[in-house]
Amino acid sequence: MEQNSSFSQNIKKNFFSGLIVFLVALPLCLGIAQASHAPLFAGIVSGVIGGIVVGFLSGSNLSVTGPAAGLTAIVLAAITKFNAFDIFLCSVIIAGAVQLLLGFLKAGRIANFMPSSVIEGMLAGIGLTIIIKQVPDAIGFVKNKTDEMVDADDGFLMNTITNSLNHIEIAAVIIAAIGLLVLILWQTKALKKLQMIPAGLIVVLLGILTNTLLKGNNSALALDSTHLVSLPVANTFSEFLGQFTLPDFAGFKDPHVWETGLIIAIVASIETLLCIEATDKLDPHKRFTSTDRELKAQGIGNILSGFMGGLPMTSVIVRSSANINAGARSKASTIIHGVLLLVCAASIPILLNMIPKASLAAILIFTGYKLCKPSVFVHMWKGGWTQFMPFVLTATAVVSLDLLKGVGLGLLISIFYILRQNARIPYYFQRSSFSNGELIKITLAQEVSFLNKASIKETLDHIPEGSNVIIDASHTQYIDFDVLDLITDFSNITAPERKISISLIDFKNRYNVPKTVSERDIISEFVNANEVPKRSSGNYKKLLKQLRGAGSVE
């Protein structure tokens, strides 16, 4: 009896959370399709497949898959470049096939090799791009094909923004402003009790209501059909099936289609894996999701989406967190949200066509802001230049160039800082002054690579004549051959010529360097040379302490 009660309770919670996620996902599916300049129905298609198919195949109990804002810049650039949505669908199929292959190759840990600074920069750049792209719709500027071409060619979109400001629709501005105000207020504690209702749904309903009131008053400010969502309306089942776009398989002959597919696969896989990791952390039951299984599920989903005229998809943290907050218990809630999207697209397209594009633009602008909010920049700044520079250069390049070039530039900058840091810390240098000369101790780091050769060579070149030098490799696991060769030449040739007494500690015979001695032997020899009374243990211990890190250090 208790089991039946628990099962019934889980069904209710899963249905309620599925309904909430559906209400969150519907405006996002339409908005992301709008931002990508794809058919709006394509956003619904990917949402349905992401909910039902990926939801069923995925090992995650709580993550929700659908069209992602993070792929908007790639999709927009590709559709504009190919000038045909059906050719772009070939890229979606290729992306899915690559993801499926990655899953079988057990590449689920691929995201671990991407520096967090580059990932944050990529997301911030995508957020800025989304905001810039949505300005025209937010102020009521209807772009033509020429304007879309300008969007693709000009990374900062200055011409389109200038044109937009010359074609402002007051009603669109009002609707977008109301939408942004609602989204901002919905985050405050004052409206905490209302936050179970998706803010996006309220924005859409207020947009419809505002424009309907303007039309009812015969106001010249009312938005016409060019400023509203335009889903095709099917009167019969066969007409509904006709709304699905089939791919143009001739696109597989174009190498740019394959390049786009590979880019989508990489970005979508990274975004999915990061979302899965975040979702598992939010899971109240702390269940673990197989990343390899997730890549396979996403791959199959994207292949189907490409064949059925949908956008590429990823696991999405906004919808996943909404799912968790609504009390979801299993993947049933994700599947329910997909079914509701399908029913909605098939039965009430006329109602959906009342939604102003300005309302969707407000939702997307707020989504973009959350990706690039000032606190992200402050957080990366506090991480130092090694974190901030790759972050800000990646974000800037994503906006001004494109996503692939931006991420590539960010990776190059990150590698530069890694190499620079590695080259700067090859050893610890201690220098102590005594009555009969200098005692210099060089303690090598755990790993000494060829990148460290230049700095070690410069240090050895500047050691004063007549000094006593200790080179300690007791903490070193790896020394590059070039560095060993440099130390050997210095010990055998340079040091004797400059009357430098050199001792090597724990280099071990495998390094093929002169015979090494213990540190205690060196200390004893140096104590005798300085004529420190051995009977005074205090003096001996003091010298030992100086040789091991105290004394005059430079």
- pLDDT exceeds 80 at position 491: yes
Helix (H/G/I), strand (E/B), else coil: 68 = coil
Strand, coil or helix: 440: strand
pLDDT tens per residue, range 441-465: 888 877 787 777 877 888 888 888 8
pLDDT at 91 (0 to 100):
95
Distance CA 412, CA 341 (A): 42
Going by C-alpha positions, the residue among 191, 173, 127 that lies closest to residue 359 is 173
pLDDT-based confidence at residue 532 (cuts at 50, 70, 90): very low
Q: Are 119 and 270 in contact (CB under 8 A)?
A: yes
What is the per-residue pLDDT for 143? Answer: 62
User: In Å, what is the CA distance from 155 to each residue of 72, 79, 132, 371?
Assistant: 14, 16, 10, 19
Strand partners for 476: none
Residue 541 predicted with pLDDT over 60: no
DSSP string, 311-342: --EEEEHHHHHHHHHTT--STHHHHHHHHHHH
Does the pLDDT at position 222 exceed 50? yes
Angstrom distance (rounded) from CA 330 to CA 304? 23
Report helix angle 385-400 to 374-382, nearest 10: 140
Residues with Cβ within 8 Å of residue 222, at least 6 apart in sequence: 171, 211, 214, 215
Which amino acid is residue 454, in one-letter code? A
Predicted local distance difference test score (pLDDT) of residue 94: 96
Each residue's pLDDT tens digit, 186-221: 888 777 777 667 777 888 889 989 888 888 776 677
- What number is the average pLDDT over the span 22-31? 82
Q: Name 346's bridge partners.
A: none
Residue 369: name the closest of 150, 135, 148 by CA. 135
pLDDT higher for 353 or 428? 353
DSSP code for 222:
S
- The reported pLDDT for the residue numbered 546 is 47
Q: Which domains does the chain have, with CATH numbers?
A: 2-113+167-367 (no CATH), 426-547 (3.30.750.24)
Say what the pLDDT of residue 544 is: 46
The lowest-confidence range among 134-148, 355-369, 529-543 is 529-543
Say if residues 457 and 490 touch (Cβ distance below 8 Å).
Answer: no
Q: In percent, how much of the chain has pLDDT > 70?
A: 79
> Residue 139, SS3?
coil
SS3 content of the chain, % helix, strand, coil (to 5): 70, 5, 25
Q: What's the pLDDT score for residue 3?
A: 42
Q: Which helix (H) or strand (E) holds 512?
A: none
Place of tokens 């007549």: 466
Give the burial string for 82-104 (b: 16+ CB within 10 Å, else e).
beebebbbbbbbbbbbbbbebbe
HSE toward the beta carbon, residue 348, CA cutoff 13 A: 9
Amino acid at 536: S
Phi, psi of 442 (to 5 degrees): -115, 110
Share of the chain above pLDDT 90, in %: 18
Helix axes 2-35, 116-138, angle to 10 degrees: 70
3-state SS assignment for residue 64: strand
What tokens appear for 249 in the block?
């398989």
* Residue 14 parent element (H or E): helix 2-35
Highest mean pLDDT (candidates 27-31, 294-298, 372-376): 294-298
DSSP for 457-506, please give it.
Answer: HHHHHTSPTT-EEEEE-TT-SEE-HHHHHHHHHIIIIIHHHTT-EEEEES
Mean pLDDT of 230-240: 74
